[in-house]
Structure formats: C-alpha cells, structure tokens
A and B are shown apart, each in its own frame.
Chain A
Amino acid sequence: MDEDVLTTLKILIIGESGVGKSSLLLRFTDDTFDPELAATIGVDFKVKTISVDGNKAKLAIWDTAGQERFRTLTPSYYRGAQGVILVYDVTRRETFLKLDNWLNELETYCTRNDIVKMLVGNKIDKENREVDRNEGLKFARKHSMLFIEASAKTCDGVQCAFEELVEKIIQTPGLWESENQNRGVKLSNKEEGYGGAGCGGYCSML
C-alpha cells in the first residue's frame, strides 16, 4: 500500500498552548473532535497518507506541546521538518502576538531555509473573535507564509490547510526530492512549472 506513495513529509505543528494544535491534527487524521482534550505532554505523532494533485504523500505529523515548560524538548523535533503549521487562536489575541516568537524559534532550530510555513487561525466557530482575518493574512504575507482560518470543531479549513501545505512543499524544488533520489524514484521536470506558478502564492480559503 505504501508503494505508490511519492514521498514522506515531515510536518510540524507549533503554536501557543491551547490554540488547538492537537485538535486540528485529530480532526485531520481521525476526523474526531474532543472539546476537553488534555494538554499535550512532550510531543504527539500521527501518520496520514494524503493525495494532492494525484500525488500521494505520507505525512509524518509531529504535534508539539505548546506549554512553555516543554519547550526544551521541541528543538530536536524541528530537525528535518519540511513543513510547519503555525497555529493561533483567533479568540485570544496574545496567541497571535506570540507568533513572532514562534517564527524566531523556527528560524533558530529549523535545519533548512526553504521550509514551507502555513499560518492557521483556529477556532473561527467561536463568537468572541479578537484577531481579524486580515491581520492574520497581513502577518502571513509579511513572513511569506501560507494562511488559512480554520475550526477543528466544525471541520472548516482543516483538510485544506494540510493539503495546501503539502502542495506547496511538493511544488518547492529541492525540498523533498533529494532524499528520495537514493530510492531510485526519478523525478520528472514538471515541478519546474509548478515552481513558477506557485511562488509567492498566499493560499486563501475563500
């Protein structure tokens, strides 16, 4: 069953504590939602195969703990990551304000420069929004990130967030092929075309 998988991609989910990183992952991998989900301790890991544009990719998703006290563990998880999902809670402005710190950490520990970043504003099902969509979009654009607003509870935007991210990774030359070369998988030249089209694209759900 793994035979037709193009590649395995390492995806990291980061963001402040309680913004819904684990909920997004559970919605994506198991299609479940638990409003009382306990805080992640250390790190969680899920595997899911996803099909984007006919290419099958296996995602090794690392769901990190947002709490400050587990931060000493996270640096090692960044190693080899190809995509990162940066999550904030649209109803808690401070989680948005802390994004700079997370980008800083990402830059510090990430082993490659061309890692694809997806900014997710979670919990849009809630009434008391504190961060406007445009603010998120503006922040994402400023830092060359993909952007989407989502709700793990209502399923809004979750699937899309992962798909967009994977699509962008696959479009990025040199991000995933090199390590597959020794497996004998020959890569076509078609990525080059993607590369031209996809550059600078800010994914928007709407």
Chain B
Amino acid sequence: MLHDAQVQGEVCTMIQKKYSEFLPSLQSAEELAAQVDRLCGSIDLLRAQIENEVQRDLNVAIAEFTELKQQLERDTLILSVLKKLQEFDTAIKDYNAALQEKKYVVAAQQLEKAQSSLKLLESRKGFELKILKALGMELTVQTQNMLYQLGEEWQKMVVWKLPPSKELSSLESARQTELHLCTKLLKEEEIADSPVTSVLRAFAILGELHTKIKLFGQLLLKCILKPLISHPSLQPSVTEQPEAVVLRFETIEPNSEPSSPVEVFDKIRLVLEVLHIQLLNVPVDECVEGEKDGRTVLAQVLGDMIWGELSDCLIQDCLVYSIPTNSNKLEQYVEVIKSTEEFEKALKSMCFLKGDATDLLKYARNVNAHFANKKCQDVIVAARNLMTSEIHNTVKITPESSVALPKLPDPTAGDHVKMQKASKTLRNEMVNLENETKLSQHTFSLPACRISVSVERLMELAYQTLSEATASTDQCCIQLFYAVRNIFQLFYDVVPTYHKENLQKLPQLAAIHHNNCMYIAHHLLTLGHQFRYRLTSMLCDGAATFVDLVPGFRRLGIECFLAQMRAQKGELLERLSSARNFSNVDDEENYAAANKAIRQVLHQLRRLGKVWQDVLPATVYCKAMGTLLNTALVEIISRVTALEDISAEDADRLHSLCRTVAEEGPRVFAPLPEESENRKYQEEVPVYVHRWMTFKQLMLILQANLQEIVDQWADGKGPLAAEFSPAEVKSLIRALFQNTERRAAALAKIR
C-alpha cells in the first residue's frame, strides 16, 4: 500500500512536475503558433500585394515594348521604302539626264533599276501607298516615252518606203519598196558606241528588242526577201547616199520561169550582207565587251526569227522548182548544191545562221530523192488523168504501128537497132535452115484494132519513164520502175471503177476497153525485157518484169467484154421470147410477132456489128458476132423443132423467116470499114456460127419433100444426120407431113 501510495505520490509529483513544466511551454508554443500564424497571414498578404503590383507593371512593360518594337519595324520599313523611293527617284533622274544626253543604254538601265525598285516596293503586302500607283504610272509613262523616243530613233535609222497597196507580194508593189538604212556603221571599233548599238541595246534592256526585230523581220521577209524569191525579174540594188544606204529593187527583163537557186541565193546574200554591215552586226546584250564570240549579235536574233520561214520559202518557191524533171539535168544540179553550201556558209559567217543549221543543204543534197519523188508523182498524176479521160477517143493500132516504139532516147534506140539486127540475122539463119516455115513478120503482133488515145499515151508514158529510169541513180531507178508498175496497177483499179457504168452500158466502149487491156498486156509481155539490162543491177535478177501483170490485164479485158456479151445475149433471147414459140405462124398475129422478133434480133446484131466495126480485131469481132448469131439460131432451132404440128403454110412462113435470118445474118459481119473487104468474113459465117449448118438443114427440111429429107439423111451419113438426132428429124417429119405410108417409110429410114 505504501508502495502504492508512494507510487501514487511519485506519479502525482511527476505529473505535477510535468504539468508545471509542460503548461508554460505549451503556452509559449501556442503563443508562438499564433505569432507564426499572424506572420504567415502578413506574408501572404504581402506576397499578394507584391504579385499584384509586379504583374501590373509587367504587362505595361510588355505592351510598351511591343509598341516600341513595332515602331522600330515601321521606321525601318519606312526608311527602306524611302530608300527605294530615293533609288527610284535617282534612277528616274539619272534616266532623264541620260535620256537628254541620248545615252540610251544608261537611260534604259536606269529605267530598269527604277522598275526593279518599284517592283520591290510593290512586293510588300498590305503596304499600299498611293504614291506607288503614281510612281508606277510615272514609270510606265517614262518607259513608253523612252520607247517612243527609241522608236523614233529606230525609224530614223531604218526607213521603210512601202507601196500603198496592201498586196505586198505583187511584183508592182515590190518595185516601189525601199529600205533606207541611216545607221552609218562602217568600222568595227565604232560599233559598240554607235547610236544604233545604243538604241538596240536599250531596246534589249527594255525587253522590246524581240518585238521590234520581229516586226522588222516580218517586213524584211514580206517586202524584200519573199519577192526576191518569187519574182525572178527583181534585182536588189544598193545605193550609198551621204546619210544612208538605200536598198531598192530593179527589174530586169521579165522571165516566166522560176529563178534558179543560184541567182536567188546571190540576191538574198547581197541583201543580207548590206543589212549585216549596216545593222545586223550590232551586239545586243550587255555582257563583257570586246569579246566577240560571246556576244549575241542582232543578226542572230533576226536569224532565229525569220530563218525558219525563209528556208521554207526558199525550198517551196525556189528549190522545189529547181529539182530537174529530167534525169539528164540531174548532174548539173551539183552547181546548185555547191551554191547552197556557200550560201549557208556565208549566212553562218554573218551569224545569221547557227552553226548546225543545214536545212537547205540537206534538201538540196537530197536532190535524187526529190527528183524521184517529183517524177513519180508527176507520172502517177499524168497516168491517172489519162485513165479518167474519155475511152471513146480512139486511135487505130496496126501491126506496123505497134512495132515502132514510142520515142526512146538515143542509147535505147541504138540498142533497139542492134536487137533488130540480131533478130534479123537469126531469121536469116532460120530461113537457111528451113525455107518453108517462114513466120510472118507480124506473127507476134497485136492484130489491128482501135484503142483509146489515152491508153496509147499511157503506154508512151510508161516507156518514157522507164527510159528515164535507165539514166538515173539506183535509188531513183527503182522508184521510177515501181512508179511504172504502179501506173498499171492503178489502171487495173481505176478504169473499171471510174468507167463502170459506161462499160456496162455501151458495147463499143466495152470493146475498146477490151482492146486497151489486150494492148497493155501485149506491151507488158516484153516491157521488162526491153529494159532489163539497162535498169539498175538491183532490179536485174528477175525483179524488173511486168509479165506477172499480163494475165490480170487479159482477164480484165475479157471479163468486161464477156459481161457485155452476156448482156447482149440476154437481150437477144428476150427479143426472141416475144415470138410466141414460132407456133401457128399461119395466124397473121402470130406471124407478125415472130417476124418482129426476128427483125429486132437482126437489128440488134446489125447495130452491134456497126459499133464494133473497125474497133475489135477482125477475128474477135467475128467470134463475138458469130457467138451472138449462134445464140439466136439455137433458140430458133429449138423452138421450131419442138413444134408438134407445122402446116404447109406454117412451113412456108417459118422458112421465109429463117431465110431472112440466113440472108441478113451474114451481112451483120462487117469487121472492116471498107464494105468490099467484108465479103470474106460474110462467107466465113459457117466457121464462126457453130450451128449455122444445123440452121441450114432446118431450112431445108421446112421446104423439102420426104425423099429429099431421106437423101439428106443418107443412112445417117448425110449432113442432116450430122446436125440432127434421129428423134429430132422424126419429130419434124411428123409435124410437117400427114400420116401416110410414104411418111412411115421415110420415118423407118431415119435411125
């Protein structure tokens, strides 16, 4: 217990001690805490105060700074603008001063400077000053002013005197054209400082040189160069006056032929040389002086502008005409090539032409190809014109005429004679060997007939072209050879199409066309051989032939004529179809119909015989007429043999109808214009008309008695048996004769 009390006391003291110690410190701590709290509050307050105040000041400062900065920028800008404006102003001032002193290059440079200043000013965005507009206007005015002055100067230096009329290309107006050059440029050293140089360079600086020179170039082309090319009678003349050099035209005696390239080149060279001395040798760019190679000369500018057109013009209006149309003139063309080369060289030395430009020379050197092209074109055009011309203008071809070849040149003619000689000796040998079998000299000739004049010309054209080919270079030769082949292929396509309707409609044209084709085929057979050893070696090994075209041409002629024959045959049969089968011709109406049909047939044949007369070769004529007459006869024979009953009067009338045909038929055979010469052909009608004998036998039966018929039959060995079958003859006998014993006996003998 004591212990407890002790402890309690101890604890109590302890506690008392502790509290007495603790409480004051707590108090002071609390005081301190309160103090700290107060301090904190005042610190916060102070901080807030400070923050408030500094922030405000900062904002102000920033705004102030920005403002100041902007002001600085503005000032700098204004300063630069003012500087530029000053530059501009100085430039304009300098320009004005320079212009007054006619230092055009300086003036132009100043203007350019002003221009660039202005551009710089204008390039600033959102910075539009009214003054800029005004300055711009001022600059434009000054530029125009300067250009005007330069233009004036230029016009004083280069004076055109043009004719009033607008037709600049005519000879008359060309004669009134003059060009005065007052540039007084004579020596190399003076060139750089001369007024013309300064004017041109000023133009160049202002960017107007090209426009100016273009205008000048156009005038030069139109009024001087082109007339010189196209009017051979014009001659340029240069006169030196104290102040100027005058270029004008003189006319020499008019010459209708296009002038030779050599002359034209000389003229143009003369003009360009004058221009060169007076004007074109001027350097137009500002680069290092004294270094001639690096400079652009006016000539170069002008050349770039007009050379294309000028060279085209030279080719089209001068060189093209100078291409020879005849191969023997081709060699002389070397001169033209040489002068072309010189011409281009001269232009190059004047810097008018760039070093690598050889348009003209290339063209001229290619003369062989141009010649061939031109020739081939001419040949084909001529051939086509011939093909589309009238077929009915004809010329008579006889074996004698076809022997003579149309105008071959001398070497060919010489060979021809040789060939003839050779064949003559050959013939002589043959005669020695075998006397009897001598061929006629016309054995392989085309028979006499009429062909179109145009086709004869066409053939001449082919021969002429081929003989020119023999005198040409290889390439040209080949081209010409194929041009000739093309002629014939063209004929093959063009003629039947172009004349299609007439060839169908008109039997005479069909006949002439047939002859034309045969005539061409006839020549094609030997055409290749005649030129074989004279054409270029490339064509020698078999290529140079026309023989392959022969069958086509023959077919062409035959087809056309056969079509005509078919048409005529159809017409004949149609006429005969109105003869009412020749039945019951004892009836007047039937007889009239049959008679009319027969007369129509004869009329048609007579008409054909007339239009083919002297046109077709006699043999072809007779074959054609024979075939047509035969068609009519076959039709009549088949109609009459089919009749079942022929009264005596029928027989008489049928016989008389047949007699008309038998008498008139041969008369339509008149292949020759001389009537007396045709008798021969009329006698030969049995040869050409296959069924002529049959027809004659039919006539015989119509008028014969039973015994005569039996005699003609002659046990199947007579002519009647040769033409008719037993059944046909029996049928005819039954139709013609009444049923009697005699008839039965006769019928029994026909077998």
Are A and B a genuine interacting pair, yes or no? yes
Residues of A within 8 A of B (CB): 2, 7-10, 41-43, 45, 47, 58, 60, 62, 69-70, 72-73, 76-77, 79-80
Chain A CB within 8 A of B718 CB: yes
With the chains together, A73 CA to B686 CA distance in Å? 8
Tell me the smallest distance from the CB of B719 to a CB of chain A, in Å: 5
CB <8 Å contact, B686 and A45? no
Contacts of A41 in B (CB 8 A): 683-684, 686
Subset of 12 A-B contacts with CB under 8 Å: A2-B749, A8-B716, A42-B687, A47-B718, A58-B714, A60-B717, A62-B719, A69-B680, A69-B684, A70-B684, A73-B686, A80-B716
- Kindly provide the distance from the CB of A173 to the nearest chain B CB, expressed in whole angstroms: 19
- Chain A residues lying within 8 Å of B717, measured Cβ to Cβ, are 8-10, 60, 80
B693 interface contact, C-beta 8 A: yes
Measured between beta carbons, the chain B residues less than 8 angstroms from A47 are 711-712, 714, 718
B722 close to chain A: CB less than 8 A:
yes
Q: Is residue B715 within 8 Å, beta carbon to beta carbon, of the partner chain? A: yes
For A71, the closest partner residue in chain B by CB is B687
Q: Across the A-B interface, give the 3 residue pairs with the lowest CB-CB distance, nearest first.
A: A8-B715, A60-B714, A42-B686
Distance (Å) between the CB of B460 and the closest chain A CB? 36
Please, which residues of chain B bring their CB within 8 A of the CB of A60? 714-715, 717-718
Which residues of B in the span 708-751 have a Cβ within 8 Å of any Cβ on A?
710-712, 714-719, 722, 749
Other A-B contacts than A8-B717, A58-B715, A60-B715, 6 sampled, CB-CB below 8 A, are A2-B710, A41-B684, A47-B718, A69-B680, A69-B687, A70-B684
Cβ–Cβ contact B712 & A72, under 8 A = no
Q: A residues within 8 A CB of B710?
A: 2
A42, B716: Cα distance in complex, Å: 19
Q: A72 and B722: CB pair below 8 A? A: no
Find chain A residues with CB under 8 A from B712 CB: 45, 47
Q: Give the distance to chain B from A14, nearest Cβ to Cβ, in Å.
A: 16
For B, the interface residue count at a CB cutoff of 8 angstroms equals 18
| Chain B residues within an 8 Å CB radius of A10 | 714, 717
Chain B residue nearest in CB terms to A80 = B717
Q: Once bound together, how far apart are the Cα atoms of A165 and B693, in whole Å? A: 28
A143 vs B657: C-alpha distance when bound (angstroms): 49
On chain A, the residues within 8 Å of B749 by CB distance are 2
Indicate if the CB atoms of B684 and A76 lie closer than 8 Å: no
Contact yes or no, B722 A76, CB < 8 A:
yes
| Nearest-CB residue, chain A, relative to B719 | A45
Complex CA gap A193/B590 in Å reads: 63
Q: For B687, list chain A residues within 8 Å (CB).
A: 42, 69-70, 72-73
The answer on a CB contact under 8 Å between A45 and B680 is no
Q: Which residue of B lies closest to A180 (CB)?
A: B715
Q: In the complex, how many angstroms separate the beta carbon of B620 from the nearest chain A beta carbon? A: 16
Residues in B whose Cβ lies below 8 Å from that of A7: 715
Closest residue on chain A to residue B666 by CB atoms: A41
Nearest CB in chain B: distance from A163 CB, A: 19
Which residue of A is nearest B436, CB measured?
Answer: A97
Q: CB distance A42 to B711 under 8 Å?
A: no
Query: In this complex, what residue of A is CB-closest to B700?
Result: A45
Q: What chain B residues lie within 8 Å of A73 (beta carbons)? A: 686-687
| Nearest A-chain residue to B696, judged by Cβ | A42
In the bound complex, CA of A27 to CA of B711 (Å):
19
Within the complex, the shortest CB–CB distance from A112 to chain B, in Å, comes to 13
CB contacts (< 8 Å) of B680 on chain A: these are: 69
CB of A158 to closest CB in B, whole Å: 21
By a CB distance below 8 angstroms, the chain B residues around A69 are: 680, 684, 687
A162 vs chain B, min Cβ distance (A): 15
B403 to chain A, nearest CB (A): 25
* Complex CA distance for A9 and B714, rounded to whole angstroms: 9
Residue among A8, A9, A10, A47 with most chain B CB within 10 A: A47
Whether A8 and B714, one on each chain, are in contact in the complex, defined by CB atoms closer than 8 angstroms, is yes
User: Which partner residue on chain A sits nearest B686 by CB separation?
Assistant: A42
- What CA separation (Å) do A16 and B174 show in the bound complex? 88
What's the minimum C-beta distance from A75 to chain B, rounded to whole angstroms?
12
Q: Closest chain B residue to A38 by CB distance?
A: B683
A60 CA / B714 CA spacing, docked (Å): 6
Q: In the docked arrangement, what's the CA distance between A7 and B714, Å?
A: 10
Residue of A42, A70, A77 ringed by the most chain B CB atoms within 10 A: A42
Alpha-carbon distance A10/B722, docked complex (angstroms): 12
Residues from chain B with a CB closer than 8 A to the CB of A42 are: 686-687, 692-693
User: Which residue of chain A lies nearest to B684 when distances are taken between CB atoms in the complex?
Assistant: A69
Roughly how many angstroms separate A58 CA and B749 CA in the complex, as a whole number? 14
Q: Chain A residues near B718 (CB, 8 Å)?
A: 45, 47, 60
Distance between A39 CB and nearest chain B CB, rounded to angstroms: 8
- List A contacts of B715 (CB < 8 A): 7-8, 58, 60
- A99 shortest CB reach to chain B, Å: 15
A58: chain B residues within 8 A (beta carbon): 714-715
Q: Which of B617-640 contact A (CB under 8 A)?
A: none
Q: Which residues of A contact B684 (CB under 8 A)?
A: 41, 69-70
B364 → A minimal CB distance (Å): 66
Bound together, the chains give a CA A80 to CA B716 distance in angstroms of: 10
- Shortest A97–chain B CB gap in Å is 10
- Which residues of A have CB within 8 Å of B693? 42-43
Residues of chain A lying within 8 A (CB to CB) of residue B722? 76-77, 79
User: Chain B's nearest CB lies how many Å from the CB of A170?
Assistant: 15
Min CB–CB distance B447 → chain A (angstroms): 16
Task: Give the distance in Å from the alpha carbon of A60 to the alpha carbon of B716 in the complex.
Answer: 9
Closest residue to B682 on the A side, CB-wise?
A41
CA distance A7 to B692 in the complex (A): 29
Bound: A46/B680 CA distance, A = 25
Please, how many angstroms separate the alpha-carbon atoms of A73 and B694 in the complex?
13
CA distance in complex: A42, B718 (Å): 15
A7: nearest chain-B partner, CB-CB: B715
B:673-717 near A, CB below 8 Å = 680, 683-684, 686-687, 692-693, 710-712, 714-717
A72–B688 Cα gap in the complex (Å)? 10
CA distance A60 to B712 in the complex (A): 8
Please report the C-alpha to C-alpha distance between residue A8 and residue B751 in the assembled complex, in whole angstroms: 13
User: B716 — which chain A residues lie within 8 A by C-beta?
Assistant: 8, 80
Min distance, Cβ B721 to any Cβ of chain A, angstroms? 9
Which A residues touch B692, using CB under 8 A?
Answer: 42
Measured CB to CB, the closest approach of chain B to A37, in angstroms, equals 15
Bound state CA distance, A127 and B289, in angstroms? 126
CB distance from B43 to the nearest CB of A (A): 156
Shortest Cβ distance from residue A67 to the other chain B in the assembled complex, whole angstroms: 9
Minimum distance in angstroms from A85 CB to a CB of chain B: 15
Chain B contacts for A9, CB-based, 8 A:
717
With a cutoff of 8 Å between Cβ atoms, the chain B residues found around residue A72 in the complex are 687
Q: Residue on B with the closest CB to A97? A: B436
Interchain CA distance A159-B686 in the complex, whole Å: 31
Q: Give B363 Cβ to nearest chain A Cβ, in Å.
A: 66
Q: In the complex, what distance in Å separates the CA atom of A69 from the CA atom of B622?
A: 13
Contacts of A70 in B (CB 8 A): 684, 686-687
CA distance A76 to B711 in the complex (A): 19
Measured in the bound complex, the distance between the Cα atoms of B718 and A43 in whole Å is 12
By a CB distance below 8 angstroms, the chain B residues around A2 are 710, 749
**For the complex, what is the distance from the CA of A63 to the CA of B717, rounded to whole Å?**
13
A176 CB to closest chain B CB, in angstroms? Answer: 11
Closest chain-A Cβ to B697's Cβ sits at a distance in Å of: 10
A19–B684 CA distance with the chains assembled, in angstroms: 20
A7 to B715, CA, bound (A): 9
With CB as the reference atom, state the residue of chain A lying closest to B710: A2
Determine how close the nearest CB of chain A comes to the CB of B701; give it in whole angstroms.
14
B683, B714, B719: the one within 8 Å of A43 (CB):
B719
Q: Which residue of B lies closest to A41 (CB)?
A: B683
Which residues of B have CB within 8 Å of A8? 714-717
* B714: chain A residues within 8 A (beta carbon): 8, 10, 47, 58, 60
CA distance A118 to B604 in the complex (A): 48
Give B696 Cβ to nearest chain A Cβ, in Å: 9
- Residue of B whose beta carbon sits closest to that of A3: B745
CA A86 to CA B718, docked complex, whole Å: 19
What's the Cα separation between A7 and B716 when bound, in Å? 11
- Cα separation A8 to B713 with both chains bound (whole Å): 11
Q: What's the minimum C-beta distance from A196 to chain B, rounded to whole angstroms?
A: 28
B683 contact set on A, CB distance < 8 A: 41
